[in-house]
Chain A
């Protein structure tokens, strides 16, 4: 579904990604792990079309989208879950959810979102930035599910969440996967990653250092944790 070929990315003079190539098949959940500064977030931004300085190719369903602006990519079914949760202070919770157009074949209705997230329903007319961090993370995920996005790009959705909320994020991603949604996930929490994902890419200094499956990550968990510095 998603194919990245020889992707390099720059911030001014500094090169953050070096010839990264990877693939995500339809219905797969794939994580990007790596130290801070390894280029994980930049890679997601490149896929979304939010990073200006880049070289290489990004393909979606065999179509080259490298030169497509971000809003056209979203309309092809990309769902963006930014690392800062992307809550709008000037929009209510309901407006945050309904801002993006529906783009996929199977969008959640607003009723379904509110049934799944009662906390969002009770705060539906508040400014989204008045929600707690966990609620804002749920809002960010609910938003792309309501879009009906086919490929979710999630940047550390469990960061700073309580164990209970981490589990809820996991349940959501597994349910999305059951409905055929594909996920590319930046994640530092290896335990969480092996619980939801099929495969993993380890990024180091802007390159794909290793591709691993779940059993490999589990058997090398200590070594990886030490490497990641967690």
Chain B
């Protein structure tokens, strides 16, 4: 039983990372119709940025938790203005080429300077140790991640469903042309939304630094699962991406724990689930078929 609780807890923690990354991909896709294959690279930059800030400037974790998302968000906005916005009129193939190319460039720039070995990042002292939940002890830092990610997801959901900005983003996501005809400058919202999605990836990266190996390829390893998450949740669906993020975290953790005798199954279970969902619901669990423009 305590093993089950442990596995469930760890699944939710991995799920928190999937959810944050998938959420960013979902808002970006919804608003720009661009699938950002560079999302994992920005996650890696978040973690690496926190590491560099700490080792070379003594900037603590808590400051990095603000500096990196904001900085990467601004970098994302600059990239959107410089190149990403040109994709809207082009064949989707260019979407893949550009964002995948960006991934390779960002990864190799980091490799050039820091090599490929993993760098350690100490858990902030405030969050070291463990929390006792009656029968179980969970590492404090992981409890923090879970709470923080859940809070962020709720905050994003609140902004999207309860504020005027959220209403405009939903309308522009659903029917961009119609929304323009109602006096809303949809183009003005595209750059900040892209920056916001990138900022979330950077934030997830900073959160990952103390518990995952910080290296140039950490994003590439993770993003493959995140894309499965996005497809399962329904491309562009905010709620779907978060729910599928946590769900896949759980499935993966349970699979590794209880199907460890069948490594082929436990390592591919995410993609088996994805294939099953697509057969049953081609638009994903919470996705809708594309509406006319």
Contact = CB atoms under 8 A, between A and B. Distances in A.
Contacts, number: 68
Contact of A99 (B173, B182, B288, B291): B182
A133 interface: no
Contact of A82 (B178, B186, B288): B178
Interface string A134-145: 000000000100
The number of chain B residues touching the other chain, given as a range, is 20 to 34
Given A71-B185, A84-B292, A90 B171 contact: yes
B180 interface: yes
A103 to B, nearest CB: 6
Contacts of B173: 90
B227 to A, nearest CB: 23
A177 B172 CA distance: 31
Interface string B149-177: 00000000000000000011011011101
Nearest to A153: B181
B119 interface: no
Contacts of A101: 183-184
Contacts of B171: 88, 90-91, 95, 99
**Interface size range of chain A in the complex:** 20 to 34
A121 to B, nearest CB: 19
B178 A89 contact: no
A74 interface: yes
A201 interface: no
Interface string B67-82: 0000000000000000
Contacts of A91: 167, 170-171, 174
Q: Which of B168, B175, B179, B181 has the most CB of A within 10 A?
A: B181
A90 B183 contact: no
Interface in A45-59: 48-50
A69 interface: yes
Nearest to B182: A100
A204 B238 CA distance: 46
Contacts of A103: 183
A100 B186 CA distance: 12
A13 B180 CA distance: 26
Contact of A89 (B168, B181, B291): B291
Nearest to B183: A74
B250 to A, nearest CB: 27
Interface string B98-112: 000000000000000
Given A88-B174, A95-B171, 5 more contacts: A50-B177, A74-B181, A86-B178, A99-B171, A100-B183
Interface of B: 167-168, 170-171, 173-175, 177-186, 288, 291-292
